Structure 1
Amino acid sequence: MSKQSQWKTSTGFILASAGSAIGLGAMWKFPYMAGVYGGGAFLLMFLVFTIFIGLPLLIMEFTIGKLGRTYTTAIFGKLSGKKWTNIIGWSGNLAVFVLFGFYSVVGGWIIIYIAQVAMQLVGLGSGTLGSIHFDQVISNPVYTIIGQGIFILITMVIVMLGVEHGLEKASKVMMPLLFVFLILIVIKSLSLDGAAEGVRFILEPRMEDLSMQGVLFALGQSFFALSLGTTGMITYASYAPKEMTIKTSALSIVIMNIIVSLLAGLAIFPAINAFGYKPEEGPGLLFKVLPRVFEQMSFGAGFYLIFLILFLFAALTSSISLLELNVSIFTKNDNRKRTKVAVIGSVLVFLISIPATLSFSSLSGIHFGAGSIFDNMDFLVSNILMPLGAFATTLFVGQLLKMKDLEKVFGRDRLKLFVPWYYLVKYVLPVVILLVFVMQLFK
């Protein structure tokens, strides 16, 4: 990567990486997955998978990125001396491409909500926050496609400018501010009638509510929330400043991911009983519940608009990293190509994700495999491409890279951290990931 493309500080790198990893995964997807697949029991499995599988894998991807410092389609061949291993990078790019399309659907929903709340604030829209019905929003094919297009357009413009143009600086402000807003929402949600039951639902593990499918989806959520198995974190690490400490960075991101997931759960589930919703509401859970929570606040519409903008920033941080990965590969630091490649990539993502956008409206009658087109897109990324990518990368690190080369990247942490991490990645994680993946196929 060019010197200009690198993050200037470790803090900026951590916050931007956290934004990319957390994005929609922790705030939007975790609550609805927990609601569908067992509440506290799902949370417990998610924590186990995130700490014992997600953290070592994140360290692994940071290690590859920091060691190779080149494009993901070349980094595997560069480090191993075997060009055929670059197929891992290319397959990761495929996962990134599909993931960006999936993200753009939800990003479009956020855009629509921002527009509707803003119109209410300036007197151009009628009703209250609670009158914005999620099912009506996503069932309107025109609105959802326009929202998705705007989300992709914003992502494209930022990527065309280059990651060094403000993303790092903005992350230092926006991510902590989003965290503060989440805490405020949690406080308000906990004050509502029936909040205690919602707290018990998300914090009390009732293992009888957890199915094998829930266990598998908890693993998929740990991959999704940390953007593992897509080479996205490898790309971010290749941008990292040389003084970046792998252990500190990975641990910080995992901790932030867990905290934000917990806060999202505590913001949503205590409010469910108060407003007559069910935990199994699905992808619209956050969009249905939070407007009702903000309605209970003074100046609620204004605060909700600010929250949505911060939420959009978190989603954009994720989508920017996804598009940047492919743009950097095809431009190879030739900024004359950046605009053209960003436009082509964005248009392709827009086109392939239209069916997922319309799966709640014009194509709502199409169901197969995991459910709707949107559900299948999610399943493909979270439960197939990401685990397979992580599995291939563990084999690459454990079997093809030299132990002494990997050890150099750990710096002062190599004495306590490196050896257990190395043998975990080499012998344990490939078996665990493969076992869970096979169980998923034959469940």
Structure 2
Amino acid sequence: MTITATAQRWSHGYAFFLAATASAVGLGNVWKFPYILGQNGGGAFLAVYLGCIVLIGIPIMMAEVMIGRRGRRSPGYAAREVARESGAHDLWQLVGWLGLFSAFLIMSFYVVITGWAFSYVHKAATGAFVGADGDQVAGVFAAMTASPAEMLAWSTLAVTLAFGIVALGLRQGLERWLHVLMPVLLVLLLTALASAWWIGDVRQALDFLLRPDFSALTSHGVLIAVGHAFFTMTLASGVLMMFGAYLPQHTSIGRTAIGVALADTAVALIAGLAIFPIVFGFGLDPAEGPGLMFQTLPLALAAVPAGVLLTTLFFATLSLAAFSTMITNVQAFVHLFHERLHASRVLAVLVCGGAVWLLSLASVFSFSGAAWTRLDITLLGREIPTVYHAIEHVAINLMLPLGGLLIAVFAGWVVHTRVARDELALAPFAFTIWRLVLRYVAPIGLGALLLNLAGWI
């Protein structure tokens, strides 16, 4: 007997919305979005990013959920079932398997960054940044990344908590916890926003975010916007197909996808509006890069009277955003193991959690400078100093766009029109637009991204 997703369903469509939003709202919104916005022209990048969400993100999200709900299986098997129903070859199941493999690679370093955020909550709450100057704040970050033991301790905690929640089951574990975590995350974000507007330069931040300077946006920046839309919305990672398999038949895929995209974008904007007033108010560089959250913000917030509280608040928000993504992503791995090998949920959790933890060691020791992780190679047009950089580059910049391209081609050209119409239940005009986007707009955008990666454009 095969264990299928039909035995498990979300209790209602809102649960799917929470799960898909939690999967999308993570480090991509709170940590990565502000600094890549700062590096690529502010409002100009924002305008292009929003266009990518509308023209590529939402249609592909709808396609993924449609495949998952129609197949009612783990992503690879769901894609195979839909391909068979459409009279296509079983090889199209690679659409699902590629996504799951991408998610597995991403989770291997995502748990380490989540561990950093957990660590910084503790550091901030215990006053590690009080009275610190720039060198001291940078020293805190350098000491953490130089210590494999510290990083292992926090990333192990993140893995244990995430897989522990998933071990409780779909409704008693993931769904129940999301009903708690997501409202708390929203409250923390809004509190962080209010705090930033209290101590920062709101006018300059709004000007930076809302007044586009297209002269500062390069063609490479446009492609970064396409890639980030995939990363932040967890597109082509298999997760949305898995959640679609649990989705009740009466729930509208189109309305839910639009809702998730709006929620994800709103969180990214709130994060920007919470961070950039501090950046400009304290004379920091908005294009600082990954260190913006972990080095420059603690330095700025340490200088205000309520610095301990505000710094703790910001990193608690980052931790919760990262953790919410973790628990939704690992659900897909556990379900696959449970479905394919008929293993108990506990065994599936132990095996999958152990696999993610073991691969995370490559990132931990890459950050700490272990000699065996050094590569110093050029891969797909990018300098790759360590194993971590290779995993991150291949998973996010190659596999996600490639997976998205395959999904667009599969849903737009291969899936039978009757199947797509049955699942999406769109008005004729809306269905035509959706199909045209998947057939032409998305492949062109994602093809350009892949060609740029190869150095051909």
Q: Same fold (TM over 0.5)?
A: yes
Secondary structure of 2:25's match? helix
Shift of residue 221 of structure 1?
A: 0.4
Shift of residue 136 of structure 1?
A: 3.6
Pick one of 400, 416, 419 that aligns with 2:432: 419
Shift of residue 306 of structure 1?
A: 5.5
Pick one of 64, 69, 73 that aligns with 1:70: 73
Distance across 2 between alignment mates of 1:242 and 1:300: 49
* Residue of structure 1 in register with 2:54 after alignment: 51
Distance across 1 between alignment mates of 2:453 and 2:145: 29
Q: For 1:3-152, what aligned pairs fall within 5 Å after superposition?
A: 5-81=8-84, 82-120=89-127, 127=130, 133-152=140-159
Shift of residue 377 of structure 1?
A: 3.1
Are the aligned partners of 1:178 and 1:307 in contact in 2 as well (CA < 8 Å)? Answer: no
Pick one of 406, 419, 422 that aligns with 1:392: 406
Distance across 1 between alignment mates of 2:307 and 2:14: 32
Equivalent residue letter for 1:382? I
Are the aligned partners of 2:77 and 2:96 in contact in 1 as well (CA < 8 Å)? Answer: yes
Equivalent residue letter for 2:91? W
Shift of residue 220 of structure 1?
A: 0.8
Distance across 1 between alignment mates of 2:232 and 2:423: 25
Shift of residue 328 of structure 1?
A: 1.2
Distance across 1 between alignment mates of 2:396 and 2:411: 22
User: Residue by residue, what CA displacement relative to the aligned partner does 1:61-114 show, whole Å, maximum 9, x if unpaired?
Assistant: 111112111111211111111322212222112101111112112111112113
Q: 1:193 to 1:97 in 2, by over 3 A?
A: closer
Shift of residue 300 of structure 1?
A: 5.7
Distance across 2 between alignment mates of 1:165 and 1:21: 21
Pick one of 187, 192, 207 that aligns with 1:185: 192
Shift of residue 333 of structure 1?
A: 8.1
Are the aligned partners of 1:269 and 1:279 in contact in 2 as well (CA < 8 Å)? Answer: yes
* Residue of structure 2 in register with 1:432 after alignment: 445
Equivalent residue letter for 1:403? T
Q: 1:196 to 1:213 in 2, by over 3 A?
A: same
Pick one of 204, 207, 215 that aligns with 1:208: 215
Are the aligned partners of 2:5 and 2:245 in contact in 1 as well (CA < 8 Å)? Answer: no
Distance across 2 between alignment mates of 1:275 and 1:343: 46
Are the aligned partners of 1:20 and 1:314 in contact in 2 as well (CA < 8 Å)? Answer: no
Secondary structure of 1:281's match? coil
* Residue of structure 2 in register with 1:403 after alignment: 417
Distance across 1 between alignment mates of 2:11 and 2:36: 36
Pick one of 189, 202, 221 that aligns with 2:228: 221
User: Residue by residue, what CA displacement relative to the aligned partner does 1:342-369 show, whole Å, maximum 9, x if unpaired?
Assistant: 2222222222232323333324976444
User: Residue by residue, what CA displacement relative to the aligned partner does 1:234-266 show, whole Å, maximum 9, x if unpaired?
Assistant: 111111222221111100110011111111111
Moved more, 180-189 or 364-373: 364-373
Distance across 2 between alignment mates of 1:189 and 1:414: 43
Q: 1:277 to 1:140 in 2, by over 3 A?
A: farther
Shift of residue 4 of structure 1?
A: 5.6
* Residue of structure 2 in register with 1:248 after alignment: 255
Q: 1:267 to 1:296 in 2, by over 3 A?
A: farther
Moved more, 433-442 or 59-68: 433-442
Q: For 1:145-184, what aligned pairs fall within 5 Å after superposition?
A: 145-184=152-191
* Residue of structure 2 in register with 1:359 after alignment: 366
Shift of residue 316 of structure 1?
A: 2.3
Shift of residue 307 of structure 1?
A: 5.4
* Residue of structure 2 in register with 1:317 after alignment: 324
Distance across 2 between alignment mates of 1:277 and 1:360: 25
Equivalent residue letter for 1:31? P
Q: 1:194 to 1:398 in 2, by over 3 A?
A: closer
Distance across 2 between alignment mates of 1:3 and 1:233: 16
Shift of residue 59 of structure 1?
A: 1.0
Q: 1:298 to 1:193 in 2, by over 3 A?
A: closer
Distance across 2 between alignment mates of 1:427 and 1:397: 12
RMSD: 2.7
Are the aligned partners of 1:129 and 1:301 in contact in 2 as well (CA < 8 Å)? Answer: no
Secondary structure of 2:67's match? helix
Secondary structure of 1:339's match? helix
Distance across 1 between alignment mates of 2:197 and 2:408: 42
* Residue of structure 2 in register with 1:275 after alignment: 282
Shift of residue 138 of structure 1?
A: 2.8
Pick one of 264, 268, 277 that aligns with 1:261: 268
* Residue of structure 1 in register with 2:348 after alignment: 341
Q: 1:79 to 1:129 in 2, by over 3 A?
A: farther
Distance across 2 between alignment mates of 1:90 and 1:331: 16
Shift of residue 186 of structure 1?
A: 2.3
Q: 1:299 to 1:191 in 2, by over 3 A?
A: closer
Moved more, 71-80 or 161-170: 161-170
Secondary structure of 2:170's match? coil
Equivalent residue letter for 1:407? R
Task: Please tell me whether residue 327 in structure 1 is matched to residue 329 in structure 2.
Answer: no
* Residue of structure 2 in register with 1:378 after alignment: 392
* Identity in percent: 27
Secondary structure of 2:288's match? helix
Distance across 2 between alignment mates of 1:316 and 1:5: 23
Moved more, 421-430 or 381-390: 421-430
Q: 1:260 to 1:423 in 2, by over 3 A?
A: same
Are the aligned partners of 1:387 and 1:433 in contact in 2 as well (CA < 8 Å)? Answer: yes
Distance across 2 between alignment mates of 1:193 and 1:387: 37
Distance across 2 between alignment mates of 1:73 and 1:337: 20
* Residue of structure 1 in register with 2:206 after alignment: 199
Q: 1:306 to 1:108 in 2, by over 3 A?
A: same
Moved more, 339-348 or 367-376: 367-376
Q: 1:297 to 1:250 in 2, by over 3 A?
A: farther
Are the aligned partners of 2:129 and 2:299 in contact in 1 as well (CA < 8 Å)? Answer: no
Distance across 1 between alignment mates of 2:184 and 2:411: 37
Are the aligned partners of 2:193 and 2:270 in contact in 1 as well (CA < 8 Å)? Answer: yes
